[in-house]
Amino acid sequence: MQKNKRKRTIHPASLWTLPSAGLLLSLTIAPLVMLLLFSFMNRNLFAGQPWPGWTLGNFTRMFQAEAFWSLLWKSLGIGLLVTAICIVAAYPAAWAIAKVVRPRFRGTLMMVVILPFFTSQLLLIYAMMNLIQTGGIVMTALESLGIHGNSILYTNTATVLVLVYEYVPYMILCLYSSMEGIGDNLVHASHILGANRAKTFINVVFPMSVPGLLSGILLVFVPVVGTFVEPNLVGGSNGMMVGSMINTQYKDNLNMGYGAVLSCTLLIVLCVIMAIISYGARRAQRKIGGDV
Amino acid sequence: MSGLTVENLRKSFGDHEVLKGVSFHVESGKFLSLLGPSGCGKTTILRIICGLETADEGSVLVDGADVTKIKPEKRNIGLVFQNYALFPSMNVAKNVGYGLKMQKVPPAEIEKRVSEALELVKLGGYEPRRVTQLSGGEQQRVALARALVTKPNILLLDEPLSALDRKIRAEMQYEIRNIQRQVGITTVFVTHDQEEALTMSDQIILLHGGQIEQQGDPFTIYSQPASVFASDFLGKANLISGTLAQEDGQWFISDPAFRIPVKHVGGREGDRVKAAVRGEYFEFCAQDAPGANPFRLEKKIFTGLAWRLIGRLGDQALDISALGNSAGTMREEADYFVRIRPENVVYYNND
């Protein structure tokens, strides 16, 4: 009689997910939990002081801090503006790369788009500063055209410009990945059914690009709102954004608890806004495409 | 003049001349097939008719009006694409109603006409479905409904059946033809499948290398192919070479090994010609029967509908199809006799 030999195997799925689950746990969930815990602590746990004890003081302080709220609104405004400019600039670019140019130029153009990623962020900022500073190429050119004025460097406009410059490639890449999947036939079918270019864009291209658009917004809006490098370098004395304030709490004031509260609040606000944006986009998509 | 008229279309892509002057007319309400191998220019003609491509020369007239310079969105032409081109972000109702929405038809009427169009293609109640979840045949029907719902002047079908499996394809051939008759719309159908063209069309235009090779109703095109290419493309006829000869007023194509009677349509005695004879027109007979020619059977293959008998007529290959039982008892590597009626043979001068 043959013995039914049971093969000994470790259930593979649980084993294979270990590395990714570990990464997620240690690099995303643990820091978030720590952030949450720190917000209930007085002062700085790592500053060599005795156990600070639990408190709600950071929250009361935040709700009373007008500077924080005005910086938060300002940062959200800049975030929305930069994202909007990126969307407007990236749609035609992504469409051109995905659909208009010949396939053999596509690689070259993609290379041009991702070229800035080969350089450090700081270098990009300094390069842009060089261009727009007083006596720089742009100002000199304007002056030779008879246009005189002050350089936009060290203003909020410069912050927006630099942020757009840094983040527009992300938006292009995201939109491109969605548009690549839109067959030429769909565009032709739309024309033959009586739609001009604008209507074809709204009814066919836009709904199909929503997934790319949403990931683009996520990749641009969230980091832009929380940034502190650009405002510190090119924003001048009135350039502060909410990220600068949080950075100050950690770096200069050594007030980790307060910094954690501000970070948590920013995180929650960003999540809510992203949820609203994504709901709005899906709703628009459903309005055009009908319920299923 | 009602219907669709195409006049002297010419088109080149770079150095490659795709259309070398194509003209034809489709009567209002008729079904025309553009048939030909890939690269013959049939799809280009279709794209020029609907305006997705511009011709270098020539014009397109719909019901007598020249539409050559009109943009595709203003032509009111229905087109069914090879891969259907349904909008994946829209449900069935929005897909079908798209053209009406562009014409600014009120929503209530759109809803009504969409459901009528879906009834027509037997997809009543499919409105809220997602198009990506439909089968190939269903997507095909949605595409057809979308093309017809705006009541276009012309319906264009670009190899719409090539992605379907055999059984559904046969069903859709019948269905499309039925709907086309019901609606009474002038239709141009592009295909490389001769069987499809023969079963569906009122008229067939056979295209070859950017020119019209032959034009006619399916029966004429099949039984009287106008050229070697036509006889080979439609149903793969046997091509037999021989010399034109005459005896007592009857003309033959002769060879030391055989003599095939033909109707004289041109050429002189002694001309080298090629005859096209369809495999199903051969008839087995006794050795002493009039017109009998020796046939050496080399291989027989059962194809379901008929037996395919591959062998030789003299030293030339011959492929005969024989229905039913008669061939069942025949043996391979044996000699038989075949004959053929002159009206079933067409011949062409050797080029």
Q: What is the pLDDT of residues A155-209, one digit of tens each?
A: 999 999 999 999 999 999 999 999 998 999 999 999 999 999 999 999 999 999 9
The pair of three-digit structure tokens given for residue A104, joined into one six-digit string? 């053999």
A contacts of B73 (beta carbons < 8 Å): 191-196
Contact A73, A81 (CB under 8 A): no
Spell out which chain A residues touch chain B, with contact meaning CB-CB distance below 8 angstroms: 183, 185-186, 188-196, 199, 203-204, 207-208, 210, 285, 288-292
Which residue from B69, B37, B11 is spatially nearest to B197, judged by alpha carbons?
A: B37
State the alpha helices, DSSP H only, in B88-212: 92-102, 107-120, 136-148, 166-183, 194-200
Q: Which pLDDT value is given to residue A11?
A: 67
A contacts of B51 (beta carbons < 8 Å): 192
Most B CBs within 10 Å, among A180, A196, A204, A292, to test the B interface: A292
Confidence class for position A128, pLDDT limits 50, 70, 90: very high
Confidence class for position A9, pLDDT limits 50, 70, 90: low
How far is C-alpha B42 from the geometric centre of its chain's CA atoms? 11
Q: Which pLDDT value is given to residue B1?
A: 67
Check B94 against A288: CB less than 8 A apart.
Answer: yes
Check B50 against A192: CB less than 8 A apart.
Answer: yes
pLDDT above 70 covers a percentage of chain A that reads 93
Span of B23-27, B229-233, B235-239 with lowest mean pLDDT: B235-239
Inform me whether the C-beta atom of residue B91 falls under 8 Å from chain A C-beta atoms: yes
Q: Which pLDDT value is given to residue A290?
A: 82
Mean pLDDT of the B119-139 span: 93
| Environment class of A173 (CB within 10 Å of its CB; exposed 0-12, middle 13-18, buried 19+) | buried
| Position A146, amino acid | G
Three-state SS string over chain A comes to CCCCCCCCCCCHHHHHHHHHHHHHHHHHHHHHHHHHHHCCECCCCCCCCCCCCECCHHHHHHHHCHHHHHHHHHHHHHHHHHHHHHHHHHHHHHHHHHHHCCHHHHHHHHHHHHHHHHCCHHHHHHHHHHHHCCCCHHHHHHHHCCCCCCCCCCCHHHHHHHHHHHHHHHHHHHHHHHHCCCCHHHHHHHHHCCCCHHHHHHHHHHHHHHHHHHHHHHHHHHHHHHCCHHHHHHCCCCCCCHHHHHHHHHHCCCCHHHHHHHHHHHHHHHHHHHHHHHHHHHHHHHHHHCCC
Is residue A14, in this structure, part of any structural domain at all?
Answer: no
Check B85 against A193: CB less than 8 A apart.
Answer: no
- The Cα of A194 is separated from the nearest Cα of chain B by a number of Å equal to 4
Q: What is the pLDDT of residues B266-277, one digit of tens each?
A: 888 888 999 998
Q: Which pLDDT value is given to residue A292?
A: 66
pLDDT at A141 > cutoff 50: yes
Contact B131, B87 (CB under 8 A): yes
Q: Which pLDDT value is given to residue A255?
A: 85
Is residue A10, in this structure, part of any structural domain at all?
Answer: no
Query: Which comes out higher in pLDDT, residue A49 or A280?
Result: A280
Check A288 against B79: CB less than 8 A apart.
Answer: no
Q: What is the pLDDT of residues B279-302, one digit of tens each?
A: 888 988 988 888 889 999 999 898
Inform me whether the C-beta atom of residue B274 falls under 8 Å from chain A C-beta atoms: no
Confidence class for position A16, pLDDT limits 50, 70, 90: confident
Confidence class for position A1, pLDDT limits 50, 70, 90: very low
Is residue A44, in this structure, part of any structural domain at all?
Answer: yes
| Environment class of B299 (CB within 10 Å of its CB; exposed 0-12, middle 13-18, buried 19+) | exposed
Is residue A284, in this structure, part of any structural domain at all?
Answer: yes
pLDDT at A69 > cutoff 90: yes
Is residue A23, in this structure, part of any structural domain at all?
Answer: no
Is residue A146, in this structure, part of any structural domain at all?
Answer: yes
Range of the domain at A71: 35-289
Q: Which pLDDT value is given to residue B351?
A: 60
Split into its structural domains, chain A has a count of 1
Q: What is the pLDDT of residues B60-106, one digit of tens each?
A: 999 999 999 999 999 999 999 988 999 999 999 999 999 999 999 99
Q: Which residue, chain included where needed, has tokens 């002493």?
A: B288
- The Cα of B131 is separated from the nearest Cα of chain A by a number of Å equal to 9
Is residue A28, in this structure, part of any structural domain at all?
Answer: no
Q: Which pLDDT value is given to residue B113?
A: 97
Q: What is the pLDDT of residues B109-127, one digit of tens each?
A: 999 999 999 999 999 999 9
Span of A35-49, A212-226, B2-16, B34-48 with lowest mean pLDDT: A35-49
Q: Which pLDDT value is given to residue A55?
A: 86
pLDDT above 90 covers a percentage of chain A that reads 68
Cross-strand pairs, B47: none
Confidence class for position A6, pLDDT limits 50, 70, 90: low
Q: What is the pLDDT of residues B312-346, one digit of tens each?
A: 998 899 999 888 777 778 888 989 999 999 888 88
Q: Which pLDDT value is given to residue B236?
A: 76
Q: Which pLDDT value is given to residue A210?
A: 93
Which residue ranges form the domains of chain B, and what is each CATH number? 4-227 (3.40.50.300), 237-349 (2.40.50.140)
Is residue A285, in this structure, part of any structural domain at all?
Answer: yes
pLDDT at A254 > cutoff 60: yes
CATH of the domain at A233: 1.10.3720.10
